[in-house]
Amino acid sequence: MSTTADPTTVAVGSWLHGVVRDADPAALAGVAGMDGGPVRAVRAAGLAAVVSAAPLTEYGEEALRRNLEDLAWLERAARAHHAVVDLLARSGPVVPARLATVHHDDTRVAAMLAERRADLSGTLDRLTGRGEWGVKGYVRPGVPPRAEAPAASGGAGAAYLRRRRAQLTARDEGQRIAAEAAAAVHEALAGSAVAARRHAPQDRRLSGAPTAMVLNGAYLVAGAAVEGFAALVAELTDRHPELRLELTGPWPPYSFVDGRREPAR
C-alpha cells in the first residue's frame, strides 16, 4: 500500500546557534529557539551543536535572502540567536555560529561536527577562560586638543600660536586628533589582550550616539586579566580626553571565531 506525503507539511531545517563541548539539557530548557520552541543539542565527534527548529518557508535559502533585507525581521532573528549563544557562553567556551547558518536537518549538523572536529576543538581550547570585551570610542565635542610640549626655543608664544592654529582648523584637526587617539587606544588595549579586532565604526543611526564613533574594538581577554583591562580603559580615558570610551562585555566571542557561513546542506 503506497502513501502520499501530506502537501501541507512544512519542511523544517536546523538553525545552528553554536558549538560547545557539551550542553546541559536543563540549561537549554531556559531559552527559546528561532521558532519560539525549545533548542536542542546535536552530538557528534565529541562535540555538541545547539540548534533550533527553522521552518524552511521562513529560514530556507531563498526565504533568508529575502528576510535578511528586512531590518525588523533581521533584528528579531539576531536577538533570538544571541539569546541562545549568550546562554551557552555563560557555561563555558562556545563557537558562535554566524547569523543565518541553517542546515537541512540534524544529520547534516552532525556531519559538519565530524568534518570540522579538529578546527572546532582547537577554537574551543583557545577560547577557554577568555571572553570578548568591546571598547567603543566616540568623539567628545568641545574638548580642545592638547598642545604639544613647546620646543626649548619656542616658549609660551609658540605654544599660543599652535593653540590658535588648532582653533582655526578645529573641525579637521579634531577629527585627525580623534583618529590618532583611537589608534593609540586600540594599540594599548591590544597589547593587554590575547587577541584584538578593530571593526568598522558604526553609523550614528545605528549606534544611537550623538557624536561620531572612531573606535569599535573587540578584545579577547583572559578572565584573570579583566580587572586590569578595565583599569587600562579608565587610564586611557584620562589620557585621551578627546574621546569618550565605553567598555562593554563580556560577550560571546563573535569576533574571534572563523566567520565563514556554513552553507545549508
Q: What is the pLDDT of residue 263?
A: 37
Question: Within 13 Å of residue 62, how many CA atoms lie on the same side as its CB?
Answer: 1
Q: DSSP letter string over the chain?
A: ------TTPPPEEEEEEEEES---HHHHTTSB-TTSSBEEEEEETTEEEEEEEEEHHHHSHHHHHHHTT-HHHHHHHHHHHHHHHHHHHHHS--EEPPTT-EESSHHHHHHHHHHTHHHHHHHHHHHTTEEEEEEEEEE-TT-PPPPPPPPTTTHHHHHHHHHHHHHHTHHHHHHHHHHHHHHHHHHHHHHTSSEEEEPPPPPHHHH--SS-EEEEEEEEEEGGGHHHHHHHHHHHHHH-TTEEEEEEEEE--GGGS--PPPPP-
Same domain as 109, residue 18: yes
Domain that holds residue 243: 131-254
Which amino acid type is present at position 71?
L
Exposed e or buried b for every residue in 14-27, given b needs 16+ CB within 10 A?
bbbbbbbbebeeee
Q: Which residue has the cell 565605553?
A: 246
Same domain as 218, residue 109: no
Pairing of strands 12-20, 47-55: antiparallel
Same domain as 235, residue 185: yes
Q: What is the pLDDT of residue 165?
A: 62
Cβ neighbors of 219 (< 8 A, separation 6 or more) are: 132, 133, 134, 135, 189, 190, 192, 193, 195, 196, 197, 229
- Final residue before a domain boundary, out of 71, 104, 128: 128
- Written as tens digits, the pLDDT of the chain (265 aa) is 444 444 456 689 999 999 999 999 988 988 999 988 999 999 999 999 999 999 989 888 899 989 999 999 999 999 999 999 999 999 999 999 999 999 999 999 999 999 999 999 999 999 999 999 999 999 987 655 454 444 445 566 666 666 666 555 556 666 788 899 999 999 999 999 999 999 999 887 777 778 889 999 999 999 999 999 999 999 999 999 999 999 999 999 999 996 543 333 3
Same domain as 158, residue 48: no
- Final residue before a domain boundary, out of 128, 150, 167: 128
Q: What pTM, to 2 d.p., does this model score? A: 0.78
- Final residue before a domain boundary, out of 110, 128, 146: 128
Q: What is the pLDDT of residue 208?
A: 74
Same domain as 93, residue 178: no
CB 129 within 8 A of CB 38: no
Same domain as 98, residue 68: yes
Same domain as 83, residue 32: yes
Partners of residue 50 on adjacent β-strands: 18, 41
List of long-range contacts for 75-82, beta carbons under 8 Å, 24+ apart: 77/34, 80/32, 80/33, 80/34, 81/15, 81/17, 81/34, 82/252
Domain total of the chain: 2
Q: State phi, psi for 206 to the nearest 5 degrees.
A: -90, -40
pLDDT digits (tens, 9 = 90+) for 169-191: 556 666 788 899 999 999 999 99
